[in-house]
Structure 1
Amino acid sequence: MCLIVFSVNQHPHFPLVVAANRDEFFRRPTAAMDWWQSGVAGEEVLAGRDLLSGGTWLAVSGDGVVSAVTNVRESGEADAARSRGELPLLAQRHQPEALTGILLPDRDHYAGFNLVRVDSGGGWYFSNRDTHPGRQIHRGIFGLSNHLLQTPWPKLLRLRTSVSDLLRDTPAGHVDQLHETLIGQLQDTTPAPDRQLPDTGVGIETERFLSSPFINGEEYGTRATTIVSVGQTGEILVTEQSYGPNAEKSERRQFRWQRTG
Structure 2
Amino acid sequence: MCRNIAPMYSPDEKRPRRLSLAKRAGFGNRGGMCIVALAWQSHPRWKLVLIGNRDELHARPAEPLDRWDDPDHLIAGRDSQAGGTWLGVSEQGRLAVITNVSSENGPDSDKYSRGDLLKDYLSGKGRYADFGVDDFHDFNPFNLVTVTGDKALIHSNRPEPGSDTLQPGLHGLSNGMLDRPWPKSARLTKALDQWLGGAADRPALLLDTLMDRTACLPDADGKAATDWEPSIEPQYSSIFIHNPVYGTRCSTVVAIDHEGAGSILERRFDASGTVTGETALPFDWSL
Shorter-chain TM-score tier:
0.7 to 0.9
Match of 1:12 in 2: 44
Equivalent of residue 90 in structure 1, options 103, 120, 140 = 120
> SS in structure 1 opposite 2:207?
helix
TM-score (norm 2): 0.78
Rounded to whole Å, the distance in 2 between the matches of 1:186 and 1:76 is 29
Shift of the 151–199 alpha-carbon distance from structure 1 to 2, 3 Å rule, reads closer
In the alignment, is residue 187 of structure 1 matched against residue 216 of structure 2? no
Deviation at 1:75, TM superposition (A): 1.9
CA 114–37 in structure 1, closer or farther in 2 if over 3 Å, else same: farther
Which whole-Å CA distance do the structure 2 matches of 1:224 and 1:26 have between them? 11
- Does residue 1:144 correspond to 2:173, yes or no? yes
* Aligned residues with identical type, % of pairs: 29
Runs of 4+ in 1 over 4 A off after TM superposition: none
CA contact (8 A) 1:8 1:122 kept: no
> Is 1:229 the equivalent of 2:261?
no
Q: Structure 2 matches for 1:1-261, cutoff 5 A?
A: 1-37=33-69, 44-77=73-106, 78-93=108-123, 102-118=131-147, 121-131=150-160, 133-149=162-178, 151-171=180-200, 174=201, 177-180=202-205, 182-194=206-218, 195=222, 196=224, 198-199=228-229, 203=231, 206-261=232-287
The amino acid of 2:84's aligned partner reads G
1:162-198 per-position Cα deviation (integer Å, ceiling 9, x unaligned): 1011101125xx2xx2322x11111111112253472
More helix by share: 1
Residues paired across the two proteins, number: 247
Question: Alignment partner of 2:203: what SS?
Answer: helix
SS in 2 for 1:102: coil
C-alpha RMSD over aligned residues: 2.4
Deviation at 1:100, TM superposition (A): 11
Question: Would you say the 8 A contact 1:120–1:230 is kept in 2?
Answer: no
